[in-house]
Amino acid sequence: MSAIAETRQQVQRNKQQMQTAEHSEAVNLPQYHAPRSRAEVDAYLATLPHVPAAHSIAMAHALFESSYKRNKVRKAYNALTLKQRAMCCIAGDLDPRIANVTFDQLNDIERQKVRRGLEEMNKVTKRFECEVGNVSQLKAPDFL
């Protein structure tokens, strides 16, 4: 995080503290004193730890690696209910009993079948959305 961003965050936190101090019974909260000049801002920035550019660039590159996306997929899959996982497994031609295991316990072939199952469920949902509108707004009488 750059020094300017950290300064902005500190200013934001101090403003929030001031707002909560106005609405609470706390008496001994420190008052916020904004910097009065550019020199005060520069002096504050000089006290912040220096983060090398290479480290910041490495952090940015990490966002675009496949492991980052895989972690997001893992979290999303593990957050599904057992019934939702079973639906993904069935749609991907897997045994629904595999829904009991976490994403990390699946082998590569099973993960690809889960991906295909998600694609199939997406196709079904899109077809209904194109024909009748938002699926979440369908009512029971619409199917009778």
Write out the two tokens for 70.
Answer: 């895989």
Contact 115, 125 (CB under 8 A): no
Q: What distance in Å separates the CA atoms of residue 31 and residue 80, rounded to the nearest whole number?
A: 46
More confident residue, 11 or 74: 74
What is the reported pTM? Answer: 0.54
Which residue type does 90 have?
A: I
pLDDT tier at 20 (50, 70, 90 boundaries)? Answer: low
pLDDT in tens, 61-103: 877 777 888 889 999 999 999 999 999 999 999 998 999 999 9
User: Above pLDDT 90, what percent of the chain?
Assistant: 38
Contact 120, 91 (CB under 8 A): yes
Domain ranges, ordered by start, for the chain: 3-51, 66-134
